[in-house]
A and B are shown apart, each in its own frame.
Chain A
Amino acid sequence: MSLIQHLKENKEKILQKWFEEILKTYPPETTQHLKKNNNPFANPIGHTLGESIFNIFEGILEERSPDELISDVDQIIKVRAVQDIKPSEAVNPVLLLKSIVRTEFEKIKNTAENREHYAVIDKIDHLILLSLDLYMESREKINEIKLSEYNRQYYRLIQRGNQGQNN
């Protein structure tokens, strides 16, 4: 059986496992809430993570290019960029999939599949790098909006100051 086929057949189980692994960064009191509450507005983190990993996994199975998955990776990274975690942890969700896929692969290991295995893994690696880039972008965005909020708050004063300089 090919790896992709195997992953497709076990899609639900794999997604479940992936989701649970991601939630391990959160304290146990929180995990319950993130897992159980299905309302997207009452559980924005759980919902955003759940939906994004679903789309990413599907994208991989359908052999879409990582660039097409950028908005789903972005959703995960935006959330993680403002949590109390290190950058390595922020991008870790994608990395976690790699180890899950490897475990699955070992179940069906043979040489032909080996190549396929690496192709899949490479794609995931690509996504990991993308994640890091996006993470940095989010941090930069924070700095940018700090400045623009400052400008808006003092909007009229700055305008007056500028006028004064021009006169």
Chain B
Amino acid sequence: MSKYVPTRKNLLKSIEEESNFLSGLTPEKEWLDTPISFRPGNWCHGGKPQVIESLDAPNPRKWSPNDKDWQLPANWQKIIHQGMKDQLDKSRTLKIFMDTCVRCGACADKCHFFLGSGDPKNMPVLRQELIRSIYRKDFTLGGKLLGRLAGAREMTEDVLKEWFMYFHQCTECRRCSVFCPFGIDTAEFTSMARELMHSVGVNINWIMEPASNCNRTGNHLGIEPHTFKQMVESLVEDIEDVTGVTVEPTFNRKGAEILFITPSGDIFADPGVYTMMGYLLLFHHIGLDYTISTYASEGGNFGSFVSHDLTKKLNAKMYHEAERLGVKWILGGECGHMWRVIHQYMDTMNGPADFLEEPVSPITGTKFENARSTKMVHIAEFTADLIKNDRLKLDPRRNNHRTVTFHDSCNPVRAMGMVEEPRYILKNVCNNFHEMPENTIREQTFCCGSGSGLNTNEYMDIRMRGGFPRANAVKHVHDKHKVNLLTAICAIDRVTLKTLMEYWVPGVEVSGLHELVGNALVMEGESERTEDLREDPLEEIEEDEDEDI
């Protein structure tokens, strides 16, 4: 607090002289000239030198974004110019995006960071303009000749700082692209900018360190294989306490039919662990022949928040492991960006995975044709198929103490069209379900505000701002229908939405989808259930209603 609160003298001075409503003055400068200022809560720590070194990435050094001197390489402008040229040559889409925007403004009020901050530089069109102005100067004739008049400007250190601030206030959620008549995708600008910044050593530690850990040990936290295994085993014990059933996951087992990969948050984070317990119960219930790898122990891909090469490297690990273990195909857990990478990039990066087989459900015989090339099936699709074919024994009344709403996570919904499956499952495993307003769900969903590697502590102010539109819609169903549980199929959501709810809508808990599946599954040989997987007491079930069980 003390760092943030101005001194009395400064306060009086600013009240008299600066633009605010006490002085009656409004900002006079145009947005392009409004300088940025770093203060606690609005920037993330820079990548630590040892982390950057471990990834062989450029310009390792001790630095902080609020330093005046960022210790950039002497030729940093050249590096950025060349990088931009390479990316434009490689991707025709990017070039089209640069040239096509007609400034119609349809995207302007669609970004959650704009809606939560009121800062015009968070309008997607202006966010794009932060880069486009440089593109004009360096790559278009008009910009070269007319400069500022044609909306072009020089690449300076101040511009780089502005990039750092505003391309870390974009979660690459792609909501804006849904409303653009040309489908221009601001997320592509953001990933371009982040990659260019990375090439001169400007990045954030919260992304770089998990990426480095993943590269070294296979998961974000750098948990070693034996610890990873022990953690899953402790969940097995918890399952036994609640249900009386002993599930038996195997690790690194060669010749298993299916390799199961989920975000490591499901193994060690709260409330992700309850979702993991749900998966384990489900696999036991249907007698699935699967194994878990302690080496490819992470579904998330933090590489995708910073560069193409790192994305590719981390993604390849999963496939190498599948090949080594000789499984037929991969089943993937409830993750966000893992699915973006699988669906949109995997095939051209590391695919096709011809050493695996086309996924077929061993229980129902359903062929997952959309996964023909990547050989990786989404757990929601897998479970929905089981329910559809009546292969699960479910008692949805065991979730009667929950009134549920569903948050569509940006990546599954906008990058792979995962809309109906989770809802179908929810309606089968619980009795009280209410949708949030139409313009905040499905393709139009609002981001949690902490995606794309921004879910770090020091960034809390910006995250609470960015998450406000989501929270505002949750508050609506909380007030109207007494919703007390927000369910999502993304590991980052499971951690960050909980934080968001604590600030904006106290009284709403957060869960994964398969936690509710786990609660509802009627297991063979189970003891009478009095608690859910969180060991919270169940509501009394009236026995005379007990007709279908």
Interface residues of A (CB under 8 A from B): 21-22, 24-30, 33-34, 37, 39-45, 47-48, 78-79, 82-84, 86-89, 92, 96, 136, 138-139, 141-142, 144-146, 148-157, 159-160
Q: Which residues of B contact A29 (CB under 8 A)?
A: 31, 120, 123
Please measure, in the bound complex, the distance between the C-alpha atom of A142 and the C-alpha atom of B24, giving whole angstroms.
31
In the assembled complex, B335 has its CB within 8 A of some CB on chain A: no
A92 contacts which of B22, B116, B267 (Cβ < 8 Å)?
A: B22
CB-based contact A41/B473 at 8 Å: yes
CB-based contact A139/B468 at 8 Å: no
A142-B460, A142-B461 known; A78+B440 contact, CB < 8 A:
no
A21-B21, A39-B439, A43-B109 known; A30+B499 contact, CB < 8 A:
no
Beyond the given A78-B503, A153-B268, please list 17 additional residue pairs across the A-B interface where CB-CB is below 8 A.
A27-B31, A41-B437, A42-B439, A45-B118, A83-B117, A87-B4, A88-B15, A88-B22, A89-B20, A142-B41, A152-B270, A152-B271, A153-B270, A153-B495, A154-B268, A156-B231, A157-B268
Q: Which residues of B contact A160 (CB under 8 A)?
A: 230-231, 234
Q: B110: nearest residue on chain A (CB-CB)?
A: A42
A83 contacts which of B1, B14, B439, B465 (Cβ < 8 Å)?
A: B465
In the assembled complex, B352 has its CB within 8 A of some CB on chain A: no
The 4 A-B pairs at the shortest CB distance, nearest first, are namely A156-B268, A152-B270, A29-B120, A44-B472
The interface residues of chain A, by DSSP majority, are classed as helix
In the assembled complex, B51 has its CB within 8 A of some CB on chain A: no
In the assembled complex, B119 has its CB within 8 A of some CB on chain A: yes
Q: Which residues of B contact A82 (CB under 8 A)?
A: 116, 461-462, 464-465, 468
A27-B120, A28-B26 known; A86+B14 contact, CB < 8 A:
yes
Q: Which residues of B contact A42 (CB under 8 A)?
A: 109, 115, 439
Please measure, in the bound complex, the distance between the C-alpha atom of A114 and the C-alpha atom of B492, giving whole angstroms.
57
Q: In the assembled complex, how far is the CB of residue B38 from the closest CB belonging to chain A, in whole angstroms? A: 11
Q: Which residues of B contact A88 (CB under 8 A)?
A: 11, 15, 22
CB-based contact B26/A24 at 8 Å: yes
In the assembled complex, B549 has its CB within 8 A of some CB on chain A: no
CB-based contact B440/A41 at 8 Å: yes
Q: A138: nearest residue on chain B (CB-CB)?
A: B503
B469 contacts which of A41, A145, A148 (Cβ < 8 Å)?
A: A41
CB-based contact A44/B468 at 8 Å: yes
**What is the count of residue pairs linking A and B with beta-carbon distances less than 8 angstroms?**
140
Q: Which residues of B contact A142 (CB under 8 A)?
A: 41, 460-461, 464, 503
Please measure, in the bound complex, the distance between the C-alpha atom of A160 and the C-alpha atom of B115, giving whole angstroms.
41
Please measure, in the bound complex, the distance between the C-alpha atom of A160 and the C-alpha atom of B457, giving whole angstroms.
23
Please measure, in the bound complex, the distance between the C-alpha atom of A34 and the C-alpha atom of B120, giving whole angstroms.
12
The interface residues of chain B, by DSSP majority, are classed as helix
CB-based contact B108/A96 at 8 Å: no
Query: Which of B11, B265, B267, B269 has the most chain A CB atoms closer than 10 A to its own CB?
Result: B269
User: 27 A-B Cβ contacts within 8 A?
Assistant: A21-B21, A22-B21, A25-B20, A41-B439, A42-B115, A43-B115, A44-B116, A44-B469, A45-B115, A82-B116, A82-B465, A83-B117, A88-B22, A92-B20, A92-B21, A92-B22, A96-B21, A142-B41, A142-B464, A148-B499, A149-B498, A152-B498, A154-B268, A154-B269, A156-B231, A156-B273, A157-B268
Q: In the assembled complex, how far is the CB of residue A103 from the closest CB belonging to chain B, in whole angstroms? A: 14
Please measure, in the bound complex, the distance between the C-alpha atom of A41 and the C-alpha atom of B468, giving whole angstroms.
10
CB-based contact B117/A84 at 8 Å: yes
A45-B468, A149-B499 known; A155+B118 contact, CB < 8 A:
no
Please measure, in the bound complex, the distance between the C-alpha atom of A82 and the C-alpha atom of B108, giving whole angstroms.
21
Give 1 or 0 for each of B1-26: 1 = CB within 8 Å of chain A CB: 10011100001001100001110101
Q: Which residues of B contact A40 (CB under 8 A)?
A: 472, 476
Q: Which residues of B contact A156 (CB under 8 A)?
A: 231, 234, 267-269, 273
A21-B21, A28-B26 known; A87+B5 contact, CB < 8 A:
yes
A39-B439, A44-B469, A92-B21 known; A30+B120 contact, CB < 8 A:
yes
Q: Which residues of B contact A78 (CB under 8 A)?
A: 503-504
Q: In the assembled complex, how far is the CB of residue B146 from the closest CB belonging to chain A, in whole angstroms? A: 23
In the assembled complex, B502 has its CB within 8 A of some CB on chain A: yes
Please measure, in the bound complex, the distance between the C-alpha atom of A33 and the C-alpha atom of B126, giving whole angstroms.
15
Give 1 or 0 for each of B413-447: 1 = CB within 8 Å of chain A CB: 00000000000000000000000010110000000
Q: Which residues of A contact B496 (CB under 8 A)?
A: 149
CB-based contact A152/B26 at 8 Å: no
Q: Which residues of A contact B465 (CB under 8 A)?
A: 82-83
CB-based contact B439/A146 at 8 Å: no
Q: Which residues of A contact B504 (CB under 8 A)?
A: 78
CB-based contact A145/B116 at 8 Å: no
